[in-house]
Amino acid sequence: MKYEAIIDGKPARLELNGAQLHYARETGASLDLEYSIAPTGMGQWSVLANGRSFAAQLLSNGEVSVNGHVFRVEIFDPRGRRGRRGAAGSEGRQTIVAPMPGRVIRVLIEAGQEVEDGQGLIVVEAMKMQNEMKSPKAGRVVAVKTAAGATVAAGDVLAVVE
């Protein structure tokens, strides 16, 4: 599987193929390694990469702690409708979609509410991880198309902001 990522503000590409990981920054630097991952608790994993052990924990607001070092991480499936957008991508009406199948844990907004760029809108739990869907722009919530407890598929529209 191939993904686009932004890690601490730096664009990169990730490619997972079985137990192999290829990580390439847009600057040209790259890393190939063999890895395995196992859950150790709610939002916590043990990662073995090229013989080194790492403790990873999902924090709030898109942050991940790896051996105590905190990274801001955004992952995008370039095939999905939510793939990374350029500056023009935040113009006009924006739909917020589920990045993968899961269950809606919390709806943090309601129709008609004014929101800020980056404000949390909806929390979806997928693969034992909670993902907060954020507003791609400042604006007004036009529609909320889900509710807490709902099951969603990848690409389902959760909310609309204009």
Strands (E) located in 18-144: 20-25, 30-41, 44-49, 52-58, 63-66, 69-76, 94-97, 102-107, 114-115, 120-126, 129-134, 139-144
Cβ pair 126, 99 in contact under 8 A: yes
Whether residue 153 sits in one domain with residue 108: yes
Judged against a pLDDT cut of 50, whether residue 44 lies above it is answered with yes
Whether residue 105 sits in one domain with residue 61: no
CATH of the domain at 62: 3.30.700.30
Judged against a pLDDT cut of 60, whether residue 49 lies above it is answered with yes
Q: What's the pLDDT at 141? A: 94
Q: What's the pLDDT at 80? A: 60
Residue scoring higher pLDDT (154 or 146): 146
pTM value is 0.48
Dihedral sign computed on CA atoms, order 153, 111, 139, 130: negative
Q: What's the pLDDT at 151? A: 93
The pLDDT confidence band at residue 83, using thresholds 50, 70 and 90, is: very low
Parent domain of 20: 2-76
Whether residue 54 sits in one domain with residue 108: no
Whether residue 67 sits in one domain with residue 14: yes
Question: Can you tell me the mean pLDDT for 4-22?
Answer: 86
Whether residue 126 sits in one domain with residue 72: no
Spatial separation of the C-alpha atoms in residues 117 and 159, rounded to whole Å = 14
**pLDDT tens digit sequence for 96-149:** 888 778 899 999 999 999 999 889 999 988 777 888 888 888 999 999 999 999
In a domain, 44, yes or no: yes
Boundary of a domain, candidates 44, 76, 108:
76
Q: What's the pLDDT at 154? A: 76
